[in-house]
Each structure stands twice: as C-alpha cells, then as structure tokens.
Amino acid sequence: MLRNWARLGWGLPYFVTPRNGALLQRFSHKLQGNSAALILRTEKSIDQAVPNPSWSQEMMLQFNRYMEMTKDGSWQKLPSYQSFSDHLPEGPWKEELQNRKYRFFLRSIDGEGKGFEYAMFLKPSEKRVVAIFQIGPYLEGPSGFAHGGAIATILDSTVGASVIYISCRVVTANLNINYKSPVELGSVVLVDTRVDKIEGRKIFASGEVWSVDGQTLHAEATGLFIELQPQKETDSSSSL
C-alpha cells in the first residue's frame, strides 16, 4: 500500500508526495522533531485562522478562550493558509506550485463565513489538537444541517493535525466515523483530537466533534496513520 501512497487529507500540509518527494528532502532539516507542525509557519503568507466579520459571538468567545491559553505556552495556535504552496519558503518550488492555483479544500469556498471558519490549537504535552469550527451555510447536507462529508473533513483535518505533531511523513490508512447527532448550519463546534498510541510506524489517533457546551457529541472518529520510511532524494518517485 505504501508504494501507492503519498497523501493525507488534513488542514495542514505535509511534504511527502510522489511529485514532490524531493521537496521533502529539501526542507527536511526544517521538519525535525516535535516542532514539525509549527515550522510550517511562514511570515509572508496570510494566516486565515484569525477573526473576520463573519465570526459569531460564540466563535469569538471560543477563539479568545484558547488564545488566552496560549499565553503560558501550554497551547500554541497553528497557522492556516489558503494553499499548500503558502506554507513553503520563497523559491522556485513555491512559484511552481502557486502557478497551479490550487486551494486547500477547507479554504476553497469564497465569501467569509460561507464555508469553514476555523482555528486550530496544539497542546504539545498531550499530543492534542483542538479546533474551533464555525459551520457555514454552504456546508449543507440535509436541509439546515452539515453534510456528512463536511463533518468527515473537519475530523480528518484536525485528527491529522495532531498526527503531524508526531511526524510529517505519514499517510492516512483508515478513518472510521460514527455520526451521533446532526450539526446545525451556523453553529460552532469543538473538535478535540489526540494521538493515542504509536506502534512502530503505526500512529493511532482519534477525535470527537462536540457542541461548545460539551453536552452533545456530534461525531467521533478514529484514524490510523502510517509513518513512511525515510527515502533517498534520488529515489523519490519510486520508493513510496
């Protein structure tokens, strides 16, 4: 399976793909250790995980609550850009990717507040990421409620973000979602995820989508991620 694999669906990018295996090598010195997720921050790109006029009072309340918790360093806010290329340092790779006009799935809906509005926070000591999501009116499944695919997307993204903290060189093998209660369009939810267990190259992680008052469990998911073996730069197109 690993030979076919070079992808993982989450809100933060990772650097292993058949196409840009070399890219991983180029920046691998920046992806060491536990700071993997944070090193992807770049100063020249616009962080979209910040308040805008579409954010509801509840969204602001939750955002400010977590921002407050970053002050002692126990939590860290993760950046979120519009495309993978925005995470790259300046250079020809970045320029090439920018020309392709790709956009991250979670940042693809035009109009503030229409789609996913979110911010993610990492608590390194617990290998945990909490995301605050405001569910916009363009995420409809059944009338008035979020699409099951939208719920899967926010779980995949946030669980994946907690795994990035362990390793940037992983692929998702499985995502198993139990839907418990519908999420109303316009509401704000908390997505609480963490790495549960590491067995060799297997990383087990899980997460839940909760109402902000913690009273309603909307959905829960487990994920299995596989860490890829280090590869030689010259072998980037075949060793995955």
Site for a copy of itself in 119-178 (CB under 8 A): 137-157, 160, 171-178
Count of chain residues binding a copy of itself (CB under 8 A): 69
Which of the ranges 26-34, 45-53, 54-62, 109-117 carries the binding residues for a copy of itself, by CB under 8 A? 109-117
The residue (of 138 and 204) whose beta carbon lies closer to a copy of itself is 138
Asked if residues 194 and 143 have their Cβ atoms less than 8 Å apart, the reply is: no
Asked if residues 49 and 93 have their Cβ atoms less than 8 Å apart, the reply is: no
**Residue 19, interface with a copy of itself (CB under 8 A)?**
yes
Distance set, CA 147 to CA 35, 49, 153, 182, 200 (Å): 33, 22, 10, 9, 35
Q: Which residue has the tokens 């300046």?
A: 90
Distance set, CA 155 to CA 10, 42, 75, 120 (Å): 8, 25, 20, 12
Which residues are catalytic, by number? 156
One character per residue 30-59, x = contact with a copy of itself (rule: CB under 8 A): ------------------------------
**Residue 9, interface with a copy of itself (CB under 8 A)?**
yes
Q: Which of 69, 100, 105 is CA-nearest to residue 85?
A: 100
Contacting residues toward a copy of itself, per CB under 8 A: 1, 4-10, 13-14, 16-20, 23, 83-85, 97, 100-106, 108-110, 114-115, 137-157, 160, 171-183, 185, 216
